[in-house]
Structure 1
Amino acid sequence: MNNDITPSQEQALLRLLGKVMEVMRDDRPLDPEDRAFGTLESANVFRPREAGATYSFRNNAFPDAKVELTTWTDPLDYSDDRTRVRAVPASFELWFYDALAGVNRRMLEQRLDLATYRMNGDVRREGNDLGPGLPPAELRHRYRYRANAGEHGRFPVDVELTFLDPPPNDPSGKVWLERITIDRDYPYLTPAMRKKKREEQNQKKRQTYGYMNLCTGTPCPETGVWEGWTDSGSTDVMEFARGQIFDAVRSVSLEQGGSCPMIVGRWFWLCSTNEKSGTLWKGIVLEG
């Protein structure tokens, strides 16, 4: 195997990895047209009825390499309707089908700002060397890292470097870089767990905004669906945009139907606009 990395390839590699870390760790916006990734070749949706896609690139510095960045539905958006949730970066893979020699692992550790420990689920493990693989892949050698947190990062990031050790009869002693993966460590949530988180979040917002005495004539602090109250209890429900002035409240409960006088009342958080569709309020199913 004779495929030494060139200076121009090293610059392209560091530029690519730097851009990926900006997106994955520093939470910079993803621009699939950014030339640091290469030329966008495809964007394939891989989860039906959810946001997200796998972007595949062709990078001229590494024409035979697999370069992919995958996004998926934001796990911290607890909305039940996943089609309305935005996509967020999830994973990156750079696979050199023809492995590169001359890539310094210590240099990658420094440039990517990687820690001297790794995560095994929720357990911290000191060190990064996972050792060589099992036969017949005993030359494959993996190193796993938790990236040091960025100033604007929202999620932990894990990095894995895969090298090929030289065979015993290779006098060059060269080590080849085969693969780099970079993943965000998102929390795993089932639909039931999301529902519980959503209820907790709405209850917290309802309590927080409740202390603000949000009544007719005051500006709305957050776009969402709000519940109107009078001295007779909750009588109204309405969607308001952030900054919009809260309206008067029905004097007769909406569930009773018909027109009625509107009076000064208070407004309490009910749910986000993404959660409006299908939300049950006093026996009424709200429409999105």
Structure 2
Amino acid sequence: MNNDITPSQEQALLRLLGKVMEVMRDDRPLNPDDSAFGALESSRSIKPGEAGMHYSFRNRAIPDATVDLSTWTDPLDYSDDRTRARAVPASFELWFYDAPTGVSRRLLEQRLDLAGYWIDAAGVREEGNDLGSGLPPAELLHTYRYRANAGEHGRFPVDVELFFLDPAPNDSSRKTRLIKITIDRDYPYLTPAMRKKKREEQNQKKRQTYGYMNLCTGTPCPETGVWEGWTDSGSTDVMEFARGQIFDAVRSVLLEQGGSCPMVVGRWFWLCSTNEKSGTVWKGIELQG
């Protein structure tokens, strides 16, 4: 039975994969309604309290295939409150129910701009792409693994796997069939404790950097966040400012003492981002998000 991919199907496949690589590698905005993906069939949250979503599509130009794309809570956002972090693309999978023949692996490598090596779980570069055939009962399954070239606008490492079915011994056509393609961003793995450490390092670096700018009452705020006000009496105030907003005067007595007090010209130092405000403890006071 002839199951060769048609020219129109190949064109739709390459258009789909090109769009996925734009999102995954070049960090283009993800639009689930983009016709290149097909018709959106369903979307669901992946994990309660997280920003990630799973999208399933039906692409009529590529029949007998499932198209799935997942986003995840941004691993590079170190805030502890994951509900406030944005969702970023994480993984893509195209699975053929009826695996087509005639799909050129070389063409896919060229169009997706794939390198001649792959990266293992330990971060070690492995030369070549052919991982060989599978073990019984999947001895016909042949896997090829790649690290995508970064490209001019590449921001994140991207890993690609191509899964083909080798022809059976009694298959006179001797044609391979494409069964699956996966495309994944290689994000760093961070535990909550590791995120906390990164967050503290990031805040300390910002505090030091902004400290050299002599940000005081009357100067514009360089970044939206929670800032700590200082006077000759030390750290006496904390306030949230938006980028471009003019820094206010600083309380002349400690905030925890309560009540009204004279406001004086003071300096402002970075404390944390607005996403990190909730739960942050400043001088014994737990800030409210």
- Please, what TM-score do these two structures have when normalized by structure 1? 0.99
What are the Cα deviations for residues 66-115 of structure 1, in whole angstroms up to 9, with x where unaligned?
10000010000000000111000000000001101000000000000000
What is the CA-CA distance between 1:179 and the residue it aligns to? 0.2
What is the CA-CA distance between 1:170 and the residue it aligns to? 1.2
Q: Identity rate of aligned residues, in percent?
A: 84
Q: Report matched runs for 1:34-183 at 5 Å.
A: 34-121=34-121, 122-183=123-184
What is the CA-CA distance between 1:255 and the residue it aligns to? 1.2
What are the Cα deviations for residues 2-37 of structure 1, in whole angstroms up to 9, with x where unaligned?
311000000000000000000000000000000000
- Letter in structure 2 aligned against 1:217: G
What SS does the corresponding residue of 1:100 show, helix, strand or coil? coil
Counterpart residue number, 1:199: 200
- 1:287 correspondence with 2:281: no
Q: Report matched runs for 1:16-35 at 5 Å.
A: 16-35=16-35
What is the CA-CA distance between 1:258 and the residue it aligns to? 1.1
What is the CA-CA distance between 1:61 and the residue it aligns to? 1.4
Provide the aligned C-alpha RMSD in A.
0.7
Counterpart residue number, 1:209: 210
What is the CA-CA distance between 1:187 and the residue it aligns to? 0.2
Once residues 54 and 65 of structure 2 are traced to their aligned partners in structure 1, the CA distance between those partners, rounded to angstroms, is 16
What is the CA-CA distance between 1:120 and the residue it aligns to? 0.4
**Can you give the 5+ residue segments of structure 2 that lack an aligned partner in the other structure?**
none
What SS does the corresponding residue of 1:234 show, helix, strand or coil? strand
Once residues 40 and 171 of structure 1 are traced to their aligned partners in structure 2, the CA distance between those partners, rounded to angstroms, is 39
What is the CA-CA distance between 1:52 and the residue it aligns to? 1.1
What SS does the corresponding residue of 1:42 show, helix, strand or coil? strand
Once residues 276 and 169 of structure 1 are traced to their aligned partners in structure 2, the CA distance between those partners, rounded to angstroms, is 66
- 1:272 correspondence with 2:289: no
What SS does the corresponding residue of 1:101 show, helix, strand or coil? coil
- 1:263 correspondence with 2:259: no
Q: Report matched runs for 1:183-194 at 5 Å.
A: 183-194=184-195
What is the CA-CA distance between 1:150 and the residue it aligns to? 2.5
What is the CA-CA distance between 1:62 and the residue it aligns to? 1.9
Once residues 115 and 130 of structure 1 are traced to their aligned partners in structure 2, the CA distance between those partners, rounded to angstroms, is 15
Once residues 117 and 263 of structure 2 are traced to their aligned partners in structure 1, the CA distance between those partners, rounded to angstroms, is 62
- Please, what TM-score do these two structures have when normalized by structure 2? 0.99
